[in-house]
């Protein structure tokens, strides 16, 4: 009887829109949190839009390096526009209050935008590494088509790591039986949930006995390992390697520049004939000797009386 009641509740929830009771927010604390999160979202949107507009407005900024920065600004802008507002509502209301069909799309954009930001940082570090290592060959190596290819590869890998596994349900293989016990749903009723539009892992029993829609990304261990290695650990390792190499090369080049601008004065070793001074140095030394001689006082003559002894 309870199983039929739960399956009927899920079916009615899938066929209807979220109820208005989920929007009830009581107390001043959630409203203060909502205000702070809204300010953060607006600042993120305005800041990234201004940066993108500045790059496109000034011709001098339309270079290959700034192409990667624009891609990073775009990924952060999508995070602020698509990912952060539903996440704020989910935190404030404690349940997914938007259209349930938007939940998988929001999860895909969440994974894609975060992965694109990390991959764009990796591409930026690679661009700076090439510029520091070989500045004379940088324009030959990093051409505009290659820059666009790197940006497209970053966004393509982020999309493959998000939309394809989630749409193909590779991230939740074998999760039906695991989540049914957590949710308080018997295994005999799993087939009724699988026939509905949303899986059982999207629903949670509330303390009042009803069902609340929770938009959460439930992943398997193989999917978590593969996705984290491709979109986090490998890019992070590449970023650390490139910036360490940049630091070492920058220090070496700084030492070379310092050696060229301040060459050391060679001292003659023992047994080697000393080089004659240059004419300018010799003239200055002679003038200094003459000045020293002019300031010296004349010697005082001492008259010693000579006595002649006469016999």
On whether the CB atoms of residues 22 and 212 are closer than 8 A, the answer is: yes
Contact 152, 120 (CB under 8 A): no
Top pLDDT among 46 and 92 is at 46
- Tokens for 115, please give them: 């992965």
- 240: pLDDT confidence band, cut at 50, 70 and 90? very high
Give the integer Cα–Cα distance in Å for 155 and 13: 35
- In this model, does residue 104 exceed pLDDT 60? yes
Q: Phi and psi dihedrals of 4, rounded to 5?
A: -65, -35
Closest alpha carbon to 123 in 65, 181, 44, 60: 65
The predicted model scores a pTM of 0.67
Q: Which is more confident, 144 or 172?
A: 144
What is the residue extent of each domain of the chain?
A: 28-171+217-260, 177-212
Could you give phi then psi for residue 150, rounded to 5 degrees? -65, -40
**Residue 75 in contact with residue 119, Cβ under 8 Å?**
no
173 or 59, higher pLDDT:
59
| 107: pLDDT strictly greater than 80 | yes
Q: How many residues appear in the chain?
A: 311
The set of residues, in sequence order, having a beta carbon less than 8 Å from that of 122 and lying 6+ positions away, is 154, 235, 236, 238, 239
212 or 7, higher pLDDT: 212
- Cα gap 167→82, rounded to integer Å: 18
**Residue 304 pLDDT > 90, yes or no?**
no
Half-sphere exposure of 148 (CA within 13 A, CB side): 3
d(CA 135, CA 129): 10
Which positions ≥6 away from 153 have C-beta within 8 Å? none
d(CA 152, CA 36): 34
Whole-angstrom CA distances from 102 to 24, 72, 87, 109, 170 are: 21, 25, 12, 11, 19
The winner for highest mean pLDDT among 135-149, 206-220, 289-303 is: 135-149
| pLDDT confidence of residue 225 | 86
Give the confidence band of 136 by pLDDT, cuts at 50, 70, 90.
confident
What's residue 289's pLDDT?
A: 58
Average pLDDT, the chain: 74
Residue 256 to residue 243: CA distance in whole angstroms: 20
At 101, is the pLDDT very low, low, confident or very high (cuts 50, 70, 90)?
Answer: confident
Question: How sure is the predictor about 205, in pLDDT bands with cuts at 50, 70 and 90?
Answer: low
pLDDT of residue 166: 76
Q: Which residues pair with 151 in a beta bridge?
A: none
Residue, of 162 and 301, whose pLDDT is higher: 162
pLDDT at residue 264 tops 70: no
Residue 93: pLDDT band (50, 70, 90) is: confident
Q: Work out the pLDDT band at 56, boundaries 50, 70, 90.
A: very high
pLDDT tens-digit series, residues 59-73: 889 898 899 999 999
Q: How confident is the model at residue 279 (pLDDT cuts 50, 70, 90)?
A: low
The percent of residues in the chain predicted with pLDDT above 70, rounded, is 61
Residue-wise over 108-138: b if at least 16 C-beta within 10 A, else e? bbbbbbbbbbbbbbbbbbbbebebbeeeeee
């398997």: which residue's tokens? 220
Bridge-based pairing state of the strands 211-213 and 203-205: antiparallel
Of the pLDDT bands very low, low, confident and very high (cuts 50, 70, 90), residue 201 is low
Q: Which of 13-17, 283-287, 289-293 has the lowest mean pLDDT?
A: 13-17
The superfamily (CATH) of domain 28-171+217-260 is Rhodopsin 7-helix transmembrane proteins (1.20.1070.10)
Tokens of 246: 């940049």
pLDDT band, very low/low/confident/very high, at 127 (cuts 50, 70, 90): very high
């Amino acid at each position: 009887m309870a199983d039929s009641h739960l399956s009927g509740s899920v079916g009615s929830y899938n066929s209807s829109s979220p109820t208005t009771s989920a929007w009830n927010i009581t107390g001043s604390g959630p409203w203060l949190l909502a205000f702070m999160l809204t300010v953060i979202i607006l600042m993120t949107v305005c800041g990234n839009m201004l940066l993108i507009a500045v790059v496109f407005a000034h011709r001098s900024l339309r270079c290959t390096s700034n192409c990667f920065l624009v891609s990073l600004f775009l990924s952060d802008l999508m995070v602020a526009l698509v990912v952060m507002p539903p996440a704020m509502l989910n935190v404030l209301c404690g349940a997914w209050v938007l259209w349930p069909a938007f939940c998988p799309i929001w999860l895909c954009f969440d994974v894609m935008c975060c992965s694109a930001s990390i991959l764009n940082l990796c591409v930026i570090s690679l661009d700076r590494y090439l510029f520091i290592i070989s500045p004379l060959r940088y324009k030959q190596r990093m051409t505009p088509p290659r820059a666009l290819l790197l940006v497209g590869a970053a966004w393509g890998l982020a999309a493959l790591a998000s939309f394809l596994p989630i749409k193909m349900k590779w991230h939740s293989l074998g999760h039906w039986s695991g989540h049914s016990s957590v949710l308080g749903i018997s295994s005999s009723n799993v087939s009724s949930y699988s026939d509905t539009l949303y899986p059982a892992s999207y629903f949670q029993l509330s303390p009042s006995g009803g069902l609340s829609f929770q938009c959460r990304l439930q992943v398997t261990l193989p999917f978590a390992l593969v996705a984290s290695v491709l979109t986090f650990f490998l890019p992070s390792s590449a970023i650390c390697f490139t910036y360490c190499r940049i630091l070492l090369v920058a220090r070496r080049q700084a030492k070379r520049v310092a050696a060229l601008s301040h060459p050391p004065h060679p001292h003659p070793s023992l047994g080697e004939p000393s080089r004659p001074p240059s004419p300018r140095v010799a003239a200055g030394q002679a003038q200094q000797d003459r000045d020293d001689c002019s300031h010296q006082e004349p010697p005082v003559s001492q008259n010693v009386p000579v006595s002649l002894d006469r016999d």
